[in-house]
Amino acid sequence: MFTKTFDVQSIRADFPILHQLHHADVPLTYLDNAASTQKPQAVIHALSDYYSRYNANVHRGIHKLSEEATAAYEGARKKLQKFIHAKSYREILFTSGTTEGINLVAQTWGRANLQAGDLVILTEMEHHSNIVPWQILAAEKGFNLRYLPILPDGTLDLGVYEALLRDHPVKLVSLVHGSNVLGTINPIETIITQAHARGARVLVDAAQTAPHLPLDVQALDVDFLAFSGHKMLGPTGIGVLYGKRALLEAMPPWMGGGDMIAEVRLEGSTWNELPYKFEAGTPHIAGAIVLGHAVDYLHQVGIDAIHAHVEALTQYALEKLRAFPRLTIYGDAPKRGGVAAFSLAGIHAHDLAQLLDQEGIAVRAGHHCTQPLHRKLDLAATTRASFYLYNTFEEVDRLIRALEKISHVFERG
């Protein structure tokens, strides 16, 4: 049936937070990985090591500490370059996360390239961070937004996509790779090829896929790709925006300040080379270095192995959840990531999450920053379990047992 060969126990041993009682008498079952992941000891150590041994500003000082910090910061950039197979380290911009990456593209590339009459295609399953930046800019520039509809199984209606590309001046397609609610993995390869055939650019939100799917930006030929460090064992406040070099070169800078300039005169300024043109001010040095260590850890375990484990766990969970009485799962795409959003009839999503918490199980409840998607599904909120490399089949069983217990209490009540 499901492969259980992944050495999850030795992985779990690396994550100190997992070995605690959640409440007085129940162990922690952490199933909120789509929101943020836990950190292995190597990553925690890298953070304290940076602050204990070589904390200094980068690109500025000529003293040893600054040189060391700069080497580690730029070394991390190269690790991230390799992680997504970018051609050059100059195409890797450190941001605060996916949200900032998308806003950066909107405010620089978007501001310079989108105008009244143009069409930008988004989808109905986008996270707010890939809707609101475009709405803000569209209100100012007067271009149009269209959202690709979702079919009943949670996949995108690609017929509508082809028609929009054929009939409208589409300038940009900006879409999520893996939905944080439906789990759907969108066929970005085809979407990118079709967009390019019509001269449109593509931005991919890889917040939910970078943590467990091998990504190759050159093979994909994607124009921009954004992801967050904290969803892939790294710290909060750090993420990556990949952009094709020629596009980044042509884009105006976003924030102005130190480090992003070549020369400043009172009459005007010129810009630093890539990637520094887009990294104004003191960057999140510790965050970037530590994210590099998170990537090392992911490589050690193996992204393919992590993906296979997450997929097996998710399939196992979905099979059990599907058999659960009065439970509805949202999304039935053939290719999906490690999330399962569901409702249990008669129990509000937040109450359910709270009751699961009492059983030691951490899940998320709410609209998961996808209000338009929830509105489309005619739901105010869902409860969501999400899985990662340190989760076990036993933990899925624990979730099911807890749901049974809660369900019985509600039935009796």
DSSP summary character for residue 51: I
Among 127, 201, 293, 336, binds ligand C6P (CB under 6 A): 127
To ligand C6P, the closest distance from the beta carbon of 229 in angstroms equals: 8
Give the binding-site size for ligand C6P (rule: CB under 6 A): 16
Within 215-274, the residues that bind ligand C6P by CB under 6 A are: 228
Residue 107: how many CB atoms within 10 A of its CB? 18
**What are all long-range contacts of 54-62, with beta carbons under 8 Å and residues at least 24 apart?**
55/285, 55/286, 57/282, 57/285, 58/282, 58/283, 58/285, 59/259, 59/276, 60/259
- Report the candidate in 259, 235, 208 with the shortest Cα–Cα distance to residue 386: 208
Helix (H) or strand (E) holding 355: helix 349-358
205: β partners: 176, 226
Backbone angles phi, psi at 249, to 5 degrees: -60, -40
CB of 7: closest distance to ligand C6P in angstroms? 28
Minimum CB–partner distance for residue 182 and ligand C6P (Å): 11
Binding ligand C6P by CB under 6 A: which of 33, 37, 38, 99? 99
Burial class (CB in 10 A: 0-12, 13-18, 19+), 408: exposed
Q: CB-wise, 54 or 227, nearer to ligand C6P? A: 227
Write down the catalytic residue from 232, 233, 369, 381.
369
Q: Which is nearer to ligand C6P, 69 or 339 (CB)?
A: 339
Question: CA dist 160 to 136, 147, 363, 392, Å?
Answer: 24, 10, 34, 39
Find the helix or strand (DSSP H, E) in which 94 lies: strand 92-95
Q: Per-residue contact track with ligand C6P, 329 to 348, x per CB under 6 A?
A: --------------------
CB 131, min distance to ligand C6P, A: 10
Contact 68, 54 (CB under 8 A): yes
Q: Is 337 a catalytic residue?
A: no
Measured distance CA(225)–CA(105) in Å, rounded: 10
Residue 159: other Cβ atoms inside 10 A: 11
Where in 159-198 is the site for ligand C6P (CB under 6 A)? 176, 180
Q: Is 34 in the site for ligand C6P (CB under 6 A)?
A: yes
β-bridge partners, 76: none
Q: Is 97 in the site for ligand C6P (CB under 6 A)?
A: yes
The one among 129, 272, 343, 392 contacting ligand C6P by CB under 6 A: 129
Residue list 194-213, contact with ligand C6P (CB under 6 A): 205, 207-208
98 is a contact residue toward ligand C6P (CB under 6 A)? yes
Minimum CB distance to ligand C6P smaller for 169 or for 187? 187
Q: Which one of 277, 307, 364, 374 is in contact with ligand C6P (CB under 6 A)?
A: 364
Distance of closest approach, residue 104 Cβ to ligand C6P, in angstroms:
12
If the CB atoms of residues 228 and 272 are measured against ligand C6P, the closer one turns out to be: 228
Distance CA 313, CA 394 (A): 10
Provide the minimum distance between the beta carbon of 270 and ligand C6P in the complex, in angstroms, as a whole number: 31
Residues marked as catalytic: 369
Footprint of ligand C6P (CB under 6 A): 34-35, 97-99, 127, 129, 176, 180, 205, 207-208, 228, 364, 368-369
